[in-house]
Amino acid sequence: MRGASAIIKRCSWVSVADPLKLRYHDREWGVPVHEDRKHFEFLVLEGSQAGLSWTIVLKKREGYRRAFDGFDPEKVARFSARRIVKLVSDPAIIRNRMKIEAAVRNARAFLKVQEEFGSFDSYCWRFVDGRPRLNRWKTMRQIPATSPESDAFSKDLKHRGFSFVGSTVVYAHMQAVGMVNDHLVDCFRYREIRQDWKTGPSASLVRARRQESARSSSQST
């Protein structure tokens, strides 16, 4: 019997043979985020990804969660030089000293943004006027690596002391947290995320969990 996932149309960058990426695509990518800790999590992961594949980062995500105290920016901002040295030798994360040090600096800059704007979420959504950019891409080749909004966002982050936040990294962040909907138009998530903007962000997660349960049931028969 064919699983339900075999007949669902998805973006071409995700494969049902890669369960981590599949789950990320179906449940997280492009869903509007409004929680500061989740924003910080993606900033850490995306900065760590620079020059590497997202699959590697997803495989180490739980290692990062443990190493960076649940992605709590207040705790990460207090990391000492000794803690950084320890992280450089941690095989559960990407052991790049520059990226680890950048994550700590970014945590401190993140707290300053929260102090100024009330939340990082309020700050970052200003770059898209508080509403997701709804694109209409038919092929992966059409999806840009940057945008005027990511250019402006990146420039401002750098001005505020953030590192590893070039426009490409920032655009990836905007895609991840739903500031832009870059699912291909024939992907089932494109329509769901567009609709969920009207009905509420929780609807997407509820639907994704139901679909995951249905796939598990079909695969067990």
Q: Is 29 a catalytic residue?
A: no
Which of 28, 54, 74, 101 is an active site residue?
Answer: 54
Helix (H, G, I), strand (E, B) or coil at 92: coil
Q: How far apart are CA 179 and CA 124, in angstroms?
A: 9
Which of 29, 41, 46, 125 is an active site residue?
Answer: 46
Q: Is 149 a catalytic residue?
A: no
Q: Is 54 a catalytic residue?
A: yes
Between the CA of residue 209 and those of 27, 73, 114, 216, 220, what are the distances in Å? 8, 28, 32, 11, 17
Between the CA of residue 79 and those of 72, 76, 114, 193, what are the distances in Å? 11, 5, 19, 37
Which of 24, 64, 125, 197 is an active site residue?
Answer: 24
- Which residues are designated catalytic? 24, 46, 54
